[in-house]
Amino acid sequence: MIDHAHDLGAVREATERLLDAVGKLDNAAVAEPSRLPGWSRGHVLAHLSRNADALGNVLRGVPMYASSETRDADIAAGAPRPAAEQLTDLRETADAFLAVAAEPADWSRTVTLRNGVTDSAARVPFRRWVEVDLHHVDLGIGYELEDLPPEFVEREIAFLADRFLGNENVPATGLTDLDGRTWSTGGGPPSDLVTVQGPAVELLGWLCGRRDGSALTAAGGPLPALPPL
């Protein structure tokens, strides 16, 4: 059972961490490259602001983005803004998303996200939490995967493992962290099962494309190549 109210609290905490960190950046730092190929920190911040708008749209029952082209253009247009403007936009859009989420609603309803993907409304706050915390890491300003809340790490591993479940381009894969927690992913034949083991944060980093998996061990075959998210 997804506790959307709990997740909204986590979004608030993650947002405050992010705002505090971004508030320390100057214009030059915002213009520097992020860890995402081809994106400056300004691109990441603009994306986070527009994502807050977009997920608010989802909760309202309107299209997440007008189009993929509009989404990309808005990020590109917002990327060069000075640090103060980025921070204001980030704060105001985060507050607006939380305000929409505070309105009385049927959280069991199905909502439509980007590219026709559907999900429960109750999962939208967790999706926002993922955006805020992972992109905080992508900024490359001192917040690392190791700093993520343990609950977030475990739940995002489960979410990403489920995302690749049934994908025939990924071998059947069993994941185990150092605490003995297990997940399954992939869609290849069970007879070709690959088992991957390592620290939970390294499993997450590999699954979400932030680390190359070199800190993990694989048995039954090489470490699977994962499709882009």
Query: Given this model, what pLDDT does residue 213 score?
Result: 98
If one counts every other C-beta atom within 10 angstroms of the C-beta of residue 182, the result is 11
Which pLDDT score, from 0 to 100, does residue 14 have?
98
215 phi and psi, to 5 degrees?
-90, 0
Domains of the chain: 4-105+112-143 (1.20.120.450), 150-219 (3.30.1050.20)
Closest to 161 (Cα-Cα) out of 182, 139, 147: 182
Low pLDDT (below 70) residues in the chain: none
If DSSP codes are grouped into helix, strand and coil, which group holds residue 174? strand
Within the chain, strands assigned E span: 110-112, 118-120, 173-176, 182-185, 194-197, 217-219
Percent of the chain with pLDDT over 90: 97
CA torsion through residues 143, 144, 145, 149, sign: negative
pLDDT in tens, 24-41: 999 999 999 999 999 999
Residue 80 is predicted with a pLDDT of 98
Count of other CB atoms within 10 angstroms of residue 12: 16
Q: What is the CA radius of gyration of the chain?
A: 18
pLDDT of residue 70: 96
Chain segment 151-198, per-residue pLDDT in tens? 999 999 999 999 999 999 999 999 999 999 999 999 989 999 999 999
Which of 153, 134, 152 lies closest to 143, judged by CA? 134
Q: What is the pLDDT of residue 1?
A: 79
d(CA 204, CA 158): 9
